[in-house]
Amino acid sequence: MTYRERLDFWAVVRLLPTQQWVVVARFHRRSDADGHCEFLRRSMPSIRFQVVFDLPNQRSGSG
């Protein structure tokens, strides 16, 4: 895991009907994640998005 990846703790995720999620983007600041999430919600109102705190040791098989 790179240094940059260790800084990005806030994630915008797409909620799936199967009670799972897919990470759309990661951010260092919560306010940046909230802004991007709001943009996605307005752009695609039929899809559910959420901001989550994503610790590096909880990430699954990325990269």
Q: For residue range 24-40, what is the model confidence (pLDDT) as tens digits? A: 999 989 999 999 999 99
pLDDT of amino acid 6: 64
Q: Kind of pairing, strands 10-15 and 21-27? A: antiparallel
- Quote the pTM value: 0.75
Euclidean distance between the first and the last CA atom of the chain, given in angstroms as a whole number:
8
Tally of CA atoms within 13 A in the half-sphere of 58 that contains its CB: 9
* CA 46 to centroid of chain Cα atoms: 17
